């Protein structure tokens, strides 16, 4: 039996989509978008060479030969496709289940063949059964291979993901008929150095990284969401879709390390929301405004200071939280639960103190979230609204007219705060969040109950001492600090007329092109 066969057996037993062996890193199994180590030690380059040479086709068994190999290997557990390439830092081997599954195991070796491992083959600890995704080990502390170490014939998506991290880009766009594009500091930029992708090539490279469940979902629905991780580098939120040219994908970088509340500069009023015993707190903003980053920092703040049970329901899991003072269970829609509604109902039977709902997408999810907050739990959720006042209206408007009075009453009692944010480009590069903060005081609660949400901005203006901040004031603060240009803040303002007047009153002017 070849030494590689033990790892391939674990690949099939777990129903995983990929096995990765790299010099200096534990052997990793990718299952359901989560990477799990199969060994506690890292193989040396020499050990990997020995494992590779055993399974290479006879004509390629030159351990000193440079370059890349792609071949099919038929192990006792089943047929696999193997991709191996050598870099300056050693050997890297990717193993995926074969396209055509074998009906049975490979035939037994003839007498005298394959009964024992070749002399000198290094001993690597046999892999334990991989942990389920909900208990996956944290990402490795070191990057497997630096971006510069990857040769030009390394898997395209891995090259792009590593470049994305190295160059500080937030998103990657891959579409048929185009070259890949990055989004950096809010702007779309050409990746450079990559060819235009044909529809066939785009399909190949995108479906290669998708879990089997998501490949099936894509074939049925023509879009799918999942998470992908390069241990020690970053996690990525992935969306595949179909358009008139063929398959496409958008990938959002989720850093391996969670930024703390202090690093993000979250105001004290937001941190005080993390100390509540019950109620609903909503973080809102347009797509790409950093809602997930802010929520992750808030959960991390809680994790360091409270001893509670936290359940997160996400699609997909983005930031991975380690247990510090809290017990945190992270559930992924489609992998660990059928949907937000089902998971939220189940959470009530799982003794939670705090529940995070990744997205309050529909009426039922919102209703259950309100019920959960009413029954003595602290609930965090997100919506794609631009301001605090519009968030209140959005929640109420999801319900039929005959239920809205009841929902206003529930919301007036349960809603404790809204954090609405948008990202602005810094003068010096990078982006910074402007935060609008609504704290539901007795005055705000009365306005919600009476259906007078249009008066909420006025209450916020007169309650700055209590920690409330309007978006206009937050943007003005960034200009005063010298963090952003007035033109950039104006572009991000929702009430542009009011903001323009505010700028003039404070001695700031806009260029004619911007003001016009």
Q: CB of 218 within 8 A of CB of 210? A: yes
Is 406 in the same domain as 453? yes
Torsion 424-429-430-433 (CA) sign: negative
pLDDT value of position 229: 86
Q: Does 139 map to a domain?
A: no
Is 315 in the same domain as 242? no
For residue 279, give every residue at least 6 positions away whose Cβ sits within 8 Å of its Cβ, in sequence order, or none: 373, 378, 379, 414, 415, 416, 417
Domain boundary among 62, 77, 102: 102
- C-alpha to C-alpha distance for 448 and 368, rounded to whole angstroms: 19
For residue 103, give every residue at least 6 positions away whose Cβ sits within 8 Å of its Cβ, in sequence order, or none: none
- C-alpha to C-alpha distance for 140 and 229, rounded to whole angstroms: 11
pLDDT value of position 443: 97
What is residue 202's three-state secondary structure? helix
Is 283 in the same domain as 368? yes
How would DSSP label each residue in 310-330? EEEEESS--SPPPPSSSEEEE
Q: Does 443 map to a domain?
A: yes
Q: CB of 382 within 8 A of CB of 284? A: yes
- C-alpha to C-alpha distance for 112 and 294, rounded to whole angstroms: 62
Q: CB of 194 within 8 A of CB of 179? A: yes
pLDDT value of position 275: 97
Domain boundary among 229, 254, 279: 254
Is 318 in the same domain as 201? no
Torsion 407-409-411-414 (CA) sign: negative
pLDDT value of position 70: 80
Of 361, 397, 387, give the one whose Cα is nearest residue 286.
387
pLDDT value of position 110: 35
pLDDT value of position 103: 40
Print pLDDT tens along the chain (516 aa): 678 888 898 888 888 888 888 876 778 888 765 677 788 777 777 788 888 888 888 765 554 455 667 888 899 888 988 888 765 556 778 898 886 543 444 333 333 333 333 333 333 333 333 333 333 333 333 333 343 345 455 689 989 999 999 999 999 999 999 999 999 988 999 998 888 999 999 999 999 999 888 999 999 999 999 989 887 788 899 999 999 999 999 999 988 789 999 999 999 999 999 999 999 999 999 988 999 999 999 999 999 999 999 999 998 888 999 999 999 999 998 889 998 999 999 999 999 999 999 889 889 999 999 999 999 999 999 999 999 999 999 999 999 999 999 999 999 999 999 999 999 999 998 899 999 999 999 999 999 999 999 999 999 999 999 999 999 999 999 999 999 999 999 999 999 999 999 999 999 998 866 765
Is 369 in the same domain as 476? yes
Give me the CATH number covering residue 299.
3.40.50.300
Print burial letters for 338-373: b (CB count within 10 Å at least 16), e (below 16).
ebbbebbbebeeeebbbbbbbbbbeebbbbbbbbbb
Bridge-based pairing of strands 78-87 and 68-75 is: antiparallel
Beta strands in 202-347 (DSSP E): 223-230, 234-243, 246-255, 279-284, 309-314, 327-332
The CA-based angle 268-288-279, given to 5 degrees, is: 45
- C-alpha to C-alpha distance for 109 and 119, rounded to whole angstroms: 18
Is 364 in the same domain as 442? yes
H/E stretch holding 56 = none
Give me the CATH number covering residue 17.
3.30.450.90
Q: Does 150 map to a domain?
A: no
Is 267 in the same domain as 246? no
Is 324 in the same domain as 285? yes
- C-alpha to C-alpha distance for 133 and 36, rounded to whole angstroms: 8
Q: Does 122 map to a domain?
A: no
Is 295 in the same domain as 205? no
Is 323 in the same domain as 384? yes
Domain boundary among 210, 229, 254: 254
Of 313, 316, 312, give the one whose Cα is nearest residue 240.
316
pLDDT value of position 61: 55
Beta strands in 260-406 (DSSP E): 279-284, 309-314, 327-332, 354-357, 378-383
Which residues make beta-bridge pairs with 421?
Answer: 435
Q: Is 327 exposed, middle or buried (0-12, 13-18, 19+ CB in 10 A)?
A: middle
The CA-based angle 416-302-466, given to 5 degrees, is: 40
Q: Does 121 map to a domain?
A: no
pLDDT value of position 22: 81
Is 381 in the same domain as 470? yes
Of 3, 1, 20, 200, give the one whose Cα is nearest residue 96.
20
The encoded tokens of residue 400 equal 């039929």
Which residues make beta-bridge pairs with 225?
Answer: 239
Domain span including residue 166: 156-254
Q: Does 433 map to a domain?
A: yes
pLDDT value of position 436: 98
For residue 386, give every residue at least 6 positions away whose Cβ sits within 8 Å of its Cβ, in sequence order, or none: 284, 285, 286, 420, 422, 471, 494
- C-alpha to C-alpha distance for 303 and 328, rounded to whole angstroms: 8
* Rounded (10°) CA dihedral 463, 468, 470, 471: 170
pLDDT value of position 429: 87
Q: CB of 94 within 8 A of CB of 18? A: yes
Q: Does 89 map to a domain?
A: yes
Q: Does 266 map to a domain?
A: yes
Is 379 in the same domain as 461? yes
For residue 222, give every residue at least 6 positions away whose Cβ sits within 8 Å of its Cβ, in sequence order, or none: 241, 242
pTM of model > 0.85:
no
The encoded tokens of residue 512 equal 């004619």
Count how many domains the chain has.
3
The CA-based angle 35-40-43, given to 5 degrees, is: 90
Bridge-based pairing of strands 378-383 and 309-314 is: unpaired
């Amino acid at each position: 039996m070849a030494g590689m066969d033990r790892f391939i057996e674990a690949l099939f037993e777990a129903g995983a989509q990929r096995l990765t062996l790299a010099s200096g890193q534990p052997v990793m199994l990718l299952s359901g978008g989560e990477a799990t180590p199969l060994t506690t030690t890292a193989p040396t380059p020499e050990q990997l060479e020995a494992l590779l040479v055993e399974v290479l086709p006879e004509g390629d068994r030159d351990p000193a030969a440079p370059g890349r190999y792609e071949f099919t290997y038929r192990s006792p557990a089943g047929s696999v496709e193997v991709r191996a390439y050598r870099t300056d830092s050693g050997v890297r081997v990717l193993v995926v289940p074969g396209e055509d599954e074998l009906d049975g195991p490979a035939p037994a070796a003839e007498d005298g063949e394959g009964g024992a491992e070749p002399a000198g083959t290094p001993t690597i600890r046999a892999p334990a059964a991989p942990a389920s995704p909900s208990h996956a080990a944290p990402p490795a502390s070191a990057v497997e291979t630096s971006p510069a170490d990857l040769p030009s014939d390394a898997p395209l998506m891995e090259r792009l993901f590593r470049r994305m991290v190295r160059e500080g880009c937030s998103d990657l766009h891959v579409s048929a008929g185009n070259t890949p594009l990055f989004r950096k500091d809010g702007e779309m930029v050409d990746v450079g150095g990559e060819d235009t992708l044909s529809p066939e090539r785009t399909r190949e490279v995108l479906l290669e990284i998708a879990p089997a469940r998501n490949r099936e979902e894509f074939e049925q629905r023509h879009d799918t969401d999942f998470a992908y991780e390069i241990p020690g580098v970053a996690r990525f939120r992935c969306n595949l879709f179909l358009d008139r040219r063929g398959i496409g994908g958008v990938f959002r970088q989720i850093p391996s390390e969670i930024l703390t509340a202090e690093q993000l500069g979250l105001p004290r009023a937001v941190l005080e929301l993390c100390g509540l015993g019950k109620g609903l707190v909503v973080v809102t903003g347009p797509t790409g405004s950093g809602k997930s980053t802010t929520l992750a920092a808030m959960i991390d703040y809680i994790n360091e200071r409270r001893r509670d049970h936290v359940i997160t329901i996400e699609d997909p899991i983005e930031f991975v939280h380690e247990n510090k003072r809290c017990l945190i269970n992270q559930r992924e829609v489609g992998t660990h639960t059928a949907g937000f509604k089902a998971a939220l109902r189940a959470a009530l039977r799982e003794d939670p103190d705090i529940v995070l709902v990744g997205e309050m997408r529909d009426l039922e999810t919102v209703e259950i979230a309100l019920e959960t907050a009413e029954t003595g739990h602290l609930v965090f959720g997100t919506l794609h609204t631009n301001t605090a006042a519009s968030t209140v209206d959005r929640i109420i408007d999801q319900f039929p007219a005959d239920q809205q009075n009841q929902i206003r009453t529930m919301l007036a009692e349960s809603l404790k705060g809204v954090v609405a944010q948008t990202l602005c480009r810094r003068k010096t590069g990078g982006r910074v969040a402007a935060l609008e903060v609504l704290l539901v005081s007795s005055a705000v609660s009365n306005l919600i109950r009476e259906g007078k949400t249009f008066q909420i901005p006025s209450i916020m203006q007169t309650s700055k001492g209590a920690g409330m901040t309007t978006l206009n004031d937050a943007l003005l603060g960034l200009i005063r600090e010298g963090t952003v240009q007035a033109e950039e803040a104006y572009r991000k303002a929702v009430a542009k007329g009011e903001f323009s007047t505010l700028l003039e009153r404070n001695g700031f002017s806009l260029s004619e092109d911007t003001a016009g």
